[in-house]
A = this chain, B = another copy of it.
Amino acid sequence: MYFTSETSADGLVEREFTLGDVPGVLWTPSAGPGPLVLLGHGGGNHKKHPAMTGRAGLLVAAGFSAAVLDAPGHGDRPRSAEDDREVALMQEAMATGEPVGPIVERYNGDLAARAVPEWQAALDALQDEVPGPVGYWGINMGTAIGVPLIAAEPRIKAAALGQFWPSTLVDLAKQITIPIEFAMQWDDEHIPREGALALFDAFASPEKTLHANAGKHKQLPRFEAASAVRFFSRHLGTP
């Protein structure tokens, strides 16, 4: 892992890095690194999207460290011909009002197969900087990548997930026993309510909480981010 930049402001140190050809960012409190939370960004977004920098800011303010990678085909990484094809299919489905779920599930499953080993290599390197228990926080595509990552990775001890279809993830969720906080939108126009409930139900975790809010797919309330930070404080502790 090579650090390529370092900036510091308002009690937060931001370091960009590359690991092989995967770029990422590590945020730590100026006062010293607290427990690490891995952030998985959403589809079409990237490592420094406001949703990521916002969550990193909340985490660091609570004493945590946070790290994010650009997912395959996202951010500063090249898109393959397959990436281009799948993105075009998604955009076409959105434009015509066809269900986008089957395309997203397939494409994000492919992305997860590429992303999980990248995250595991990054975690090996990040643990030199930030030892101790690790959390994972990602919704939408962040959950499509997070569920197989958590199932494969015993170092992850708690996860905030949500807003994804069940079919490709249920069997993996049944293998997961760490504490889970799972967000869904009660009136999601893309993910059927029964599907979201089925994915939450599948986790074998003795401690799991579903937060279902009225509203459509993109209307997840801001206060759920603060809730996720409290969830990590309960399960990972803070310095």
Give residues in A with beta carbon < 8 Å to B. Answer: 186, 197, 200-201, 205-214, 221, 223, 227, 230, 234
Residue on B nearest A231 in the bound complex, by CB:
B223
Q: Can you name 24 A-B residue pairings with CB atoms under 8 Å? A: A186-B201, A186-B208, A186-B210, A197-B197, A200-B212, A205-B214, A206-B214, A207-B214, A208-B213, A208-B214, A209-B211, A209-B212, A209-B213, A209-B214, A209-B221, A210-B210, A210-B211, A210-B212, A210-B213, A211-B211, A212-B212, A223-B230, A223-B234, A227-B227
Smallest CB–CB gap between A238 and chain B, Å? 15
Q: A-side binding surface: helix, strand, loop or mixed?
A: mixed
Report how far A168 CA is from B209 CA in the complex, Å.
Answer: 27
A201 to chain B, nearest CB (A): 8
In the A-B complex, the 3 residue pairs with the closest CB atoms: A210-B212, A208-B214, A209-B213
Distance, CA A200 to CA B213, complexed state (A):
10
Residue of B nearest to A224 (CB): B209
List B contacts of A197 (CB < 8 A): 197
Q: A186-B210, A200-B212, A210-B212 are in contact. List 13 more A-B contacts (CB 8 A).
A: A186-B201, A186-B208, A197-B197, A205-B214, A209-B212, A209-B213, A209-B214, A209-B221, A210-B210, A211-B211, A212-B212, A223-B230, A227-B227
Query: How many Å lie between the Cα of A186 and that of B212 in the bound state?
Result: 13
Find the B residue at minimum CB distance from A230. Answer: B223
Minimum distance in angstroms from A178 CB to a CB of chain B: 12
Note all chain B residues with C-beta closer than 8 A to A221. Answer: 209
CA distance A213 to B208 in the complex (A): 6
Residues in chain B near residue A213, CB distance under 8 A:
208-210
Please name the residue on chain B nearest to A227 by beta carbon.
B227
A206 CB to closest chain B CB, in angstroms? 6
Bound CA span A208–B207, Å: 23
